[in-house]
Structure 1
């Protein structure tokens, strides 16, 4: 019953993941490939965390 008010950590990480991907896309469009690579790497780390949490929940 009280689980209704718990925040979903996967949802929070997925939002951060989507934001990183969008920032990476914008950096790529501007031609800043170094920033694109850094943001892509950060988004991959977030995706790994999301997958780990989903495995734990299952």
Structure 2
């Protein structure tokens, strides 16, 4: 019941992840390959964090 008002950290990270991917796409379209590579690396690191959080929540929620 008290978990009802907690914010989902995965949802927040997913939003940031999507934003980074969009920025990377725009950088690629402009021809800025260095910025594209940096943003892609950042988004990959975020994806690793998302996966870890999802595994942790799956372990907690399993009976």
- Taking only aligned residues, the RMSD between alpha carbons, in angstroms, comes to 0.2
Aligned positions, number: 56
Which structure 1 residue ranges, 4+ long, deviate > 2 Å from structure 2? none
- Which has the larger Rg? 2
Q: Which has the higher contact order (CA 8 A, sep 6+)?
A: 1
Structure 2 portions without partners, runs of 5+: 57-63
Q: Which TM-score applies when normalising by structure 2?
A: 0.88
